[in-house]
Structure 1
Amino acid sequence: MSNEYTPNDPIGANQPPRRRRAPRRDGKGANAATNQNTLADQAIIADQGDEAAVKAGGVKLIANQRIIPFMKIEKPMMILSALLVLAGIAAIIIKGLNLGLDFTGGVSANVSYQNPVEQTQVVQALADNGYPDAVVQYLGTRQELLLRLPPQDASAEDLSSNLDKILDLSGNAATIDSISIIGSQVGNEIYLNSLLALSVALGMMLIYVATRFQFKLALGAVLALFHDVIIVVGLFAIMGWPFDLTVLAAVLALIGYSVNDTIVVYDRIRENFRRVRGLTPRQVLDLSLTETLRRTIMTVGTVFVVVIAMLFLGGDGLYWFSVALFIGLIAGTYSSVYIASSIPLMLGLSREDFVVKVKPEFEEEVVVFADPELQNSKD
């Protein structure tokens, strides 16, 4: 019977056997080179260290994800941070802060107008009558305002009658609802309580991170928070901007925001130390920072939109609050990468810090069954 191929054969019995041109995808054909390349890349990272991984152009480590070498420039960034912190501390000690009335004391008054009024009109009226350093803020509506004046020698009754005449604008009468004089002693108490609040916040963050993660990470988180606070407060001291309770509130809010961003990075670092094998601690940190980069950009971008809106649309009452938050967001994002992550690495962070070790009392005991009769039977 002939095996020659005939086109009209309906069954195709005489057709020659079809040969597979490409090898089967069983790891022994075309994928063999790919598998060998992947293993070679991993061997470069595991054996030759950081420099080889960087020269490889972002080797695909996990899930085909390219790793950004954040820790490659950690030393220059640490030097920059140290210089900024030292400059901030020197400015606070030598030049001091331009403390607001909340800390120095002064006069506070609630004023109501019959018609809406502009803040600039009230400030100008006070400046023309011997009150050049007045602070004016809206209280809910444009008809209710809060006035803050430096310490005055007159009594509350004399100030009330004098301000009542000064604040009356043309066609818009003013009524002083309440007035209070804040002494310098009260301002000093508020200042000391503010320092105590900052200290307690940093201490509680240290305890929280040390309990949830590891002490090396906790120390890095607290030093990063200290870095952020010094950067913000030091810049206010250098520029001579007013530092009042609203700025202090921004600093406290910054501590909460920065530690939240740091916790996200630490959680990924702990997970990768337990999950990934064959990487150095520096590479694990690079991997963790790369994986959280998208989340960080989205979070910071969203908060920046709100802060910029407050900066330009919030009025005088929220201006310095927004400025402090704006500076703190930049410092907090930077410190989460190069302060909170670099310091634990300098302290010797490794996989052993996250692996759960079995206590000796829970280890399984090896029992050897030594029966003389059974031993004799074997002999």
Structure 2
Amino acid sequence: MTEHNSNDARTHADGTPLSERELRRRKGPRRDGKGSNAQANEAALADSDIIAQSDEATEKEGGVKLIANQRIIPFMSFAKPMMGISIALILAGIIAFVVNGLNLGLDFTGGVSADVRYESPVEQTQVVSALAEDGFTDAVVQYLGTRQELLVRLPPQDRDAETLAQSLSESLDLPNNPANVDNINIIGSQVGNEIYLNSLLALSVALGMMMLYIGLRFQFKLALGGVLALFHDVVVVVGMFAIFGWPFDLTVLAAVLALIGYSINDTIVVYDRIRENFRRVRGLSPVQVINLSQTETLRRTFMTVGTVFVVVVAMMFLGGDGLYWFSVALFIGLIAGTYSSVYIASVVPLWLGLSRDDFVVKIKPEFEEEVVVFADPELQNAKD
């Protein structure tokens, strides 16, 4: 009888034998209504609320524990030297900005812009050389879709609009390739100053709104760390342009604003994982929770940054002069933004005392239930 039952357990109802996969499943707990699935319930509980156990082997490797056989990278072990590098870069950028200033483009300083159309395709260097021969120095030439349509920008000129248009038309004519000059715009220095001030206002508003969003969405300590990380990224990019004297125009400003959006997106992903791990993982210190969160988001960060890097490098070498400095600003900002998401956005909240209590909802004392003991004299006498 026992042998018959054993054989039935290894076959289907129609007598066909069970596969190896089905046999492996049968070894698990069965739901027989008598509590035999307790092991499955415990496994589900362990998945939803991980409890980290101490491990002497991993404790010897810097106090980092293994969770589900996953090796945690000790990012926070290098927090102090990395923060030292960040402080040095910020100070260097601020000093260069104060001493050297920015090599502001015509969008900020004012000047002349004109749309030029040639009958045949031309090279930008030919146009710049032709303008320099007639005294129009420091010209900036960009393509407008095709190699026959160009945008020419010049520093402020002392000539009136009619004289300037005639002089430009004569200077831009190339051998066997005449130029047609249209839409000449003269930008005054006052307009350039307004654009400069509005740009600073836009940066300030962007940083303030980011801080407000993170503070409401996550926690104030994280909000402060996120804004300091964005401030670090902006100062590093602007500081590099001040140190090397690269031209800073509206395209570079657009790259800085785009960088703020990209960097805060990466920071939000890390913050979301930090909040999740503080709530579900027990037995780890705040430093270890940060390391765990950074390790879990590292693959996603590499994939995102790698994809954007390919696009930025392609624009840098194939986008022409119009996109070159825009791409350079993004290239520097991507490196600074990825670094700041790890060693500024996460380190600052940690130094401010970030802990599990910041994310676990506590019951207020006035809402706690009181334990009421009902004392009935008759029941008490009955017991006696």
Residue 207 of structure 2 corresponds to residue 218 of structure 1: no
Aligned to 1:64: 69
Partner of 2:232: 227
Structure 2 partner of 1:52: 59
Equivalent AA in structure 2 for residue 54 of structure 1: E
Q: Secondary structure at the match of 2:61?
A: helix
Q: Residues 288 and 170 (structure 1 numbering): CA distance in 2 closer, same or farther, change over 3 Å?
A: same
Counterpart-to-counterpart distance in 1, 2:340 and 2:188: 38
Which residues in structure 2 correspond to 1:215-294 (within 5 Å)? 215-294=220-299
Residue of structure 1 aligned with 2:54, choices 39, 43, 46:
43
1:142-221 pair list within 5 angstroms = 142-221=147-226
The residue identity in structure 2 corresponding to 1:249 is: A
8 A Cα contact 1:54 1:69, kept in partner? no
Q: Distance in 1 between matches of 2:288 and 2:53?
A: 12
Residues 1:156 and 1:53: Cα distance change in structure 2 (over 3 Å) = farther
Report the Cα distance in structure 2 between the residues aligned to 1:286 and 1:79, rounded to whole angstroms: 19
Off by >6 Å, runs of 4+ in structure 1 = none
Question: How far apart are residue 127 of structure 1 and its match?
Answer: 1.1
Q: Distance between the aligned counterparts of 1:363 and 1:163, measured in 2? A: 81
Superposed displacement of residue 134, structure 1: 0.4
**139-148 vs 333-342, greater mean Cα deviation:** 139-148
1:114 has 2:119 as partner: yes
Q: Secondary structure at the match of 1:303?
A: helix
Shift of 1:44: 4.1
* Post-superposition CA distance 1:185-222 (Å, at most 9, x none): 00000000000000000000000111111000000000
Structure 1 gaps of 5+ residues are 1-23, 27-40
Find 2:78's aligned residue among 49, 73, 76. Answer: 73
Give, in whole Å, the separation in 2 of the partners of 1:178 and 1:112: 11
Q: Is the 8 Å Cα contact of residues 110 and 178 (structure 1) preserved in structure 2?
A: yes
Q: CA deviation at 1:162?
A: 0.7
Alpha-carbon shift at residue 131 of structure 1 (Å): 1.1
1:65 Cα deviation from its structure 2 partner: 0.8
Letter paired with 1:289:
Q
Q: CA deviation at 1:94?
A: 1.0
Would the alpha carbon gap of residues 66 and 117 (structure 1) be closer, same or farther in structure 2, given more than 3 Å must change?
Answer: same
Pairs within 5 Å for 1:350-361: 350-361=355-366
Does 1:138 pair with 2:149?
Answer: no
Structure 1 residues 242 and 288, CA, compared in 2 at 3 Å: closer, same or farther? same
Superposition deviation, residue 361 in structure 1: 4.4
Task: Identify which of 346, 353, 358 aligns with 1:348.
Answer: 353
Q: List aligned pairs for 1:290-309, cutoff 5 A.
A: 290-309=295-314
Within a 5 Å distance, the mapping from 1:3-22 to structure 2 comes to: none
Deviation at 1:372, TM superposition (A): 2.7
Aligned mates of 1:361, 1:307 — CA distance in 2: 56
**Residue aligned with 2:363, SS:** coil
Q: CA deviation at 1:53?
A: 5.1
Percent identity over the alignment is: 76
Alignment match, 2:8: none
CA contact 1:164–1:176 (8 Å) conserved in 2: yes
**In structure 1, distance between residues paired with 2:370 and 2:304:** 51
- Partner-residue secondary structure (3-state), 2:53: helix
Deviations 1:236-259 (A, max 9, x none): 000000000000000000000000
Give the superposition deviation at 1:368.
2.4
Inter-partner Cα distance in structure 1 for 2:175 and 2:67: 72
Counterpart residue identity of residue 275, structure 1: R
Between the aligned partners of 2:133 and 2:366, the Cα distance in structure 1 is 82
CA distance in 1, matches of 2:292, 2:88: 28
